[in-house]
Amino acid sequence: MNSDAVRFLLNNDVVTIENIDPNLTVLQYLRDERFKNGTKEGCASGDCGACTVVLAELNNDNETLNYKSINACISFVGSLHGKQLITVEHLKQGAKLHHVQQAMVDNHGSQCGFCTPGFVMSSFALHKQNSSPNRAEVLEALAGNLCRCTGYRSIIDAAMVSSEDAEDDSFAQHYQQSVKHLQDFKNLPAAQLCNAKHQYYAPKNTAELAEKLLNSPQATLVAGGTDLALMVTQNLGTIADLVYLGDVAELHTLENNADEFIIGSAVPYTTFTPMLHDEYHELGEMIERIGSRQIRNNGTLGGNIGNASPIGDMPPALIALGADITLQRGDVERKIALEDYFVGYKQTVLKDAEFIKNIYIPKAKTGQILKLYKISKRIDDDISAVLAAFFLEINDNLVTNVRIAFGGMAAIPMRAKQCEAALLNKAFNRENISAAQQALTLDFQPMSDVRASDKYRMKVAQNLLQKCYLELQNKTIETRVVNYA
C-alpha cells in the first residue's frame, strides 16, 4: 500500500501533517495546534455553526473550485487532504475587512460576537458560489448557524448584500495558484496519518479500500463524519483505525440513466440532490431539511444508510421507492434491496470488510407518485420524530401499486405491509384509508423517547396517511383530521 502524509492548503499556505492523532477534529487542530482561535466551539455536535469554516475543493472539471461551508467540530483532520481550508482569520483583506465582514458591521449583525465568525464563513461560502443570492438562498445557507443575542434579521440583511460589485478578494487573486496546488495534491498517493495509538488511511480507489478492509476488518469507515465524529466529540470515545471514503474515486460517481439514478455512497447530499429534484420534487425538498447546509455539504447517502439509525431520513424514502444498494467485499459485489439491509436496531447485513458502494433509485413510471412527510420540532436542522413515505400508483381510482415505509416507528426503517395490504387493489377512498390507518397499529408498536411519545407517533403516522390521501384528492385540510386521545 503506497501512502503519504496529509497535505492541504491552510488559507494560502501548503501544510503537511503526519504524526498527529487522526481522531483530532479540524476545530481542535485549528485551535490547539495552530492557535487559530477565531473559529469557535459552541456545541461540538454540528448543531450551532459557531465552528463553520470553508473548504475549497476541485470540481469534476479539475480546473474550478467548489467552496463549501462545513462544521469543523465534526470533521476529522485527515479529511482536509487535497483541499483548501479557509478560516475566518484569513478573510481580512490587508487593512480592510472582507466585504461579508463589512456587511455584518454595516447591518449591526453582531452583539457578543461568539456566533459571528460562523455566520461570516457561511455567508462567505454562499457569496463565493452565488454573487447575488436571494432571500431563500440566504436562509438556506444560514440555517445551520445559531445566534443567541443579535436576532436574525440584521444577520440575514448582511448576508443578502450582493458581492457582485465587490473587489476581488485575496482568494480570487490566488485562484489559479490554489487550483494548481490542489491539482498537485490530487496526484499524490493515498494519504495516511498516525500516532502511537490511532491511524487513518484515505484510499484512492475501491481496490485499495477493499484490500485495506480485508487486512483490517475491524477498521471504521468514515465518509462525511457527521454521524461518526459525534462518537468522539460527544461520547468521548476514540477510533483506532479510521478509513476515509472521501477520496475513493468510484464512490463519487453519479449516473442519471433512463430507468434509475445511481449514486456513489460517498457523494455528499449537496452534490447529488439537484439531480433528484425534477424526478422526485418532494424528495429534493426533504433532503434540504436534513441537518443544515454544513451537514449536507459533508454528509453522504452511504453514511445515512451505514449508520442504520431508525430515524435516518433517507432509508424510509428510498425503501418506498424500491431502491437497491450494492455491497462490495474484496472484489465481490452483491446487490440487495435496501429494505433487506436493516435487520435490527443498528444492525445490518453488512459483513466484515464489506462496504456500501452504490445506491440505485428507480425512476417513477407514469402514474406513480411519491409523497413524503418529515415530522420534527423545527423545520431546519432537526432530526425526525417520524418520517412517512408513500409511493402509490392509482389507476381509475384503484390502487394498483403501493409501498409505504416509515422512520421513527420501529427499531429499523420499515415498510408498513399490513397498511399496504389494506390499500392494494382497493378503491382509493376514505373508507379504505380508514382501514389502512387502523392497519398501521398491526405494523408498528412505536416507542416513546425525547422526540415523541408512542401515542403521538402512531397518531401522526395515521394522520399523515390521511393527509396524503387528502392532498392526492386535492382537498384542503380545514379541520384536525384525527383527535388526539
* Interacting residues toward ligand FAD by CB under 6 A: 45-47, 74, 220-228, 245, 265, 290-291, 295, 298-300, 302-304, 306-307, 312-313, 355-356, 381, 383
Which stretch, 90-98, 113-121, 166-174, 449-457, contacts ligand FES (CB under 6 A)? Answer: 113-121
Burial of 94 by CB count in 10 Å (0-12 exposed, 13-18 middle, 19+ buried)?
exposed
Binding partner of 419, given ligand FES, ligand FAD, none, CB within 5-8 angstroms per partner class: none
Are the C-beta atoms of residues 221 and 355 closer than 8 Å to each other? yes
Question: Cα 400–404–406 angle (5° rounding)?
Answer: 175
Binding partner of 245, given ligand FES, ligand FAD, none, CB within 5-8 angstroms per partner class: ligand FAD
Binding partner of 44, given ligand FAD, ligand FES, none, CB within 5-8 angstroms per partner class: ligand FES
Burial of 194 by CB count in 10 Å (0-12 exposed, 13-18 middle, 19+ buried)?
middle
Cell of 367: 402514474
Among 96, 135, 148, 334, binds ligand FES (CB under 6 A): 148
Among 115, 301, 305, 436, binds ligand FES (CB under 6 A): 115
Q: 331-339 — which CB contacts under 8 Å span 24+ positions?
A: 331/207, 331/210, 333/357, 335/360, 338/305, 339/405, 339/414, 339/415
Binding partner of 468, given ligand FAD, ligand FES, none, CB within 5-8 angstroms per partner class: none
CA distance 384 to 376: 5
The distance of closest approach from Cβ of residue 93 to ligand FES in the complex, given in angstroms and rounded to an integer, is 23
Residues in contact with ligand FES, counted by CB under 6 A, come to a total of: 23
Among 41, 169, 288, 324, binds ligand FES (CB under 6 A): 41
Segment 70-99, which members bind ligand FES (CB under 6 A)?
71, 73
Amino acid in position 441: T
Are the C-beta atoms of residues 142 and 156 closer than 8 Å to each other? yes
Q: Taking CB under 6 A as the rule, does residue 112 contact ligand FES?
A: yes
CA distance 405 to 480: 23
Q: Give the chain's radius of gyration (CA, Å).
A: 23
Binding partner of 312, given ligand FAD, ligand FES, none, CB within 5-8 angstroms per partner class: ligand FAD
Query: Which of 365/378 has CB closer to ligand FAD?
Result: 378
Chain residues that interact with ligand FES, rule: CB under 6 A = 41-44, 46-51, 71, 73, 110-116, 147-150
